[in-house]
Structure 1
Amino acid sequence: MSVIVWSGGALRAPGEPIITATDHGLTVGDGVFETLTIRDGQPFALTRHLARLRYSAERIGLAEPDADAVRAGIAAVMEAGAGALTRLRVTVTSGQGPMSSARGDGPQTVVVTGGQAARPHVCHAVRAPWHRNERSPLAGVKSTSYGENAVMAAYARDKGADEAIVANTHGNLCEGTATNVFVEVDEEIVTPPLASGCLPGITRGLALEWAAQAGLPIRVAAPGELTMSVLDAAIEGRAHLAVTSSTRGVQHIASLDGHDLAAGRLLRKLGALFELNAERDPDPAPRRSS
């Protein structure tokens, strides 16, 4: 099945040109995006994803994306997919701009794509040799300026892994290239705070909310509490690790730097709880992230 494309108010042929050579999303990566998984024929957590799309746009100074247009694009792509799609992507750029970093006057470019992509069933991770800059203007933004993530993902593949875990500039645990990280240690589950520079993941937020409601011992770590040494603790069996994302759900890290890791009891419960609640509520109402 080929990719289904919507832009400019209409479905487009997969190979049809829709981005100009001077679009700032292409020339300088000046845009934001969201990736959504499809569960039981519906885009999961659509309202939360659109809220984060607005947040990302605001953070980098873009005008608020037209939510009605985005929803119309998603509906058109879903209808054309006839129940066969497994993943959606919404991309919004600042539109045409000059041959510099300065933005033009738009209008924005909005593209919705849908296709089939297998859901990853296992996570093999490595430590990235680079750091996430928690003070970057793009920290916590789902930006199309994704070059550093592409470099780290390629590094992971070269090491036989499919995810790279990265520290921030203080040496604290931050996130994966496309995931958030949860740690089971001392009979509780903790995850790095947003102050670490990590993305406010949709699955991360839901996992925190649903686990707290169910009475699981879970919390956001204090700044600096989770150093990268916790990864050594996981290799030694004194901690357990999981990653979260829209495409992975809550997923055990099966190996780190070539070392097999055991799954944590609490993290297994968190994964099962997330799947159960996701089936019950395909579009959970947004709440403020932690």
Structure 2
Amino acid sequence: MNPIVWAGGTLREPGEPVVAATDHGFTVGDGVFETIAVRDGTPFALSRHLARLAYSADRIGLAAPDGAAVRDGVAAVLEAGGGAVTRVRVTLTSGDGPMGSARGEGPRTLVVTGVDAPKPRGCRAVRAPWKRNERSALAGVKSTSYAENAVMVEFARSKGADEAILANTYGNLCEGTATNVFVERGGEVLTPPLASGCLAGITRGLALEWGVRAAIPMRVAAPGELPMSVLDEIIAGEAHLAVSSSTRGVQHVSNLDGHDLAAGQLLRKVSAAYELAAERNPDPAVPSRR
């Protein structure tokens, strides 16, 4: 199917231009976005995605979009898709701007796109030779400035993989280019802390909540508790690895740096608990901030 596009408060025709050539999101990547899985015709965890979109916008100095308008756009895209849409993307940019880093005064650009994209069947990963800067101005922001991730995915593809796993500048395990990571080690499941520079993934957060509720021993690791060398333990079969994202769920990493990996039993339970809870609750409440 052709992508279904909603912009400027209305559905657009296939191929119709919706973004100006001088839009700052296009010229310098000045924007934020969310990718939302669609389960049985329903955008999964939409409230949490919109909350993170508002957080990311605030982090880069943009006013959050009107939540009702975004919901209207998502609903219009799903209705137009007639049940075929499996993934929705919401993109917010600072709008028209000059040919430089400084923003202009133009209105923001808000676009909702729906596509029929298959869920990745598995994950084959490699270690990235680059590091995530946990002190970056964009650390923890779902930004459209995604070129470094694109470079790393192309590196992974050149190695026969589809995801690259990164360390941060301290040499600790951080995240994938588009995923969070979970490690089964020593009878429990650990995930790097947000202080590592990783994104506060929607699936990561829900997997932690629902996994603990299912009595699975899992927690956020302490800073420095998961050095990048834990990947050597995983290759040796002493630990296990999974990735998580809105489109993957919690997914076993079947191959790392060319080595086939066995699935961890606890990680299997985390994945199953996540899928079961997601079926029961398609729009989990947004946690209160204290």
TM-score for both structures, normalised by structure 1: 0.98
Question: SS at the partner of 2:174?
Answer: strand
More displaced stretch, 80-89 vs 279-288:
279-288
Distance 1:121 1:231 in 2: 22
CA distances 1:19-44 after superposition (whole Å, capped 9, x unpaired): 11110000110000000111011000
Counterpart of 1:257, as a letter, is: D
Distance 2:21 2:163 in 1: 32
Instruction: Tell me what 1:233 maps to.
Output: 233
Question: SS at the partner of 2:271?
Answer: helix
CA distances 1:84-122 after superposition (whole Å, capped 9, x unpaired): 111000000000011210111231100000010010111
| Structure 1 residues 41-80: aligned runs within 5 Å | 41-80=41-80
Distance 1:287 1:267 in 2: 24
Counterpart of 1:241, as a letter, is: L
Question: SS at the partner of 2:64?
Answer: coil
The gaps in structure 2 that reach 5 residues or longer are none
**1:145 maps onto 2:145 in alignment:** yes
Instruction: Tell me what 2:2 maps to.
Output: 2
| Structure 1 residues 112-151: aligned runs within 5 Å | 112-151=112-151
Distance 1:116 1:64 in 2: 27
TM-score for both structures, normalised by structure 2: 0.98
| Structure 1 residues 213-228: aligned runs within 5 Å | 213-228=213-228
Distance 1:68 1:43 in 2: 14
Note the C-alpha offset of 1:6.
0.4
Question: SS at the partner of 2:244?
Answer: strand
Counterpart of 2:42, as a letter, is: Q
CA distance 1:288–1:239, change in 2 (3 Å): farther
Distance 1:181 1:69 in 2: 33
Question: SS at the partner of 1:254?
Answer: strand
Distance 2:242 2:134 in 1: 22
Instruction: Tell me what 1:173 maps to.
Output: 173
Question: SS at the partner of 1:271?
Answer: helix
Instruction: Tell me what 1:286 maps to.
Output: 286
Question: SS at the partner of 1:279?
Answer: helix
**1:32 maps onto 2:13 in alignment:** no
More displaced stretch, 257-266 vs 100-109:
100-109
Counterpart of 2:121, as a letter, is: H
Note the C-alpha offset of 1:207.
0.3
Instruction: Tell me what 1:203 maps to.
Output: 203
Distance 1:142 1:41 in 2: 24
CA distance 1:8–1:21, change in 2 (3 Å): same
| Structure 1 residues 99-110: aligned runs within 5 Å | 99-110=99-110
Distance 1:184 1:288 in 2: 28
Counterpart of 1:140, as a letter, is: G
Question: SS at the partner of 1:89?
Answer: strand
Distance 2:179 2:240 in 1: 16
Instruction: Tell me what 1:18 maps to.
Output: 18
Distance 2:286 2:254 in 1: 31
* Deviating 4+ runs (over 3 angstroms): none
Note the C-alpha offset of 1:69.
1.2
Counterpart of 1:64, as a letter, is: A
Instruction: Tell me what 1:251 maps to.
Output: 251
Note the C-alpha offset of 1:288.
5.4
More displaced stretch, 110-119 vs 279-288:
279-288
Distance 1:137 1:130 in 2: 17
Instruction: Tell me what 1:155 maps to.
Output: 155
- Sequence identity, in percent? 73
Distance 2:87 2:93 in 1: 20
Distance 1:72 1:50 in 2: 13
Instruction: Tell me what 1:85 maps to.
Output: 85
Distance 2:106 2:58 in 1: 15
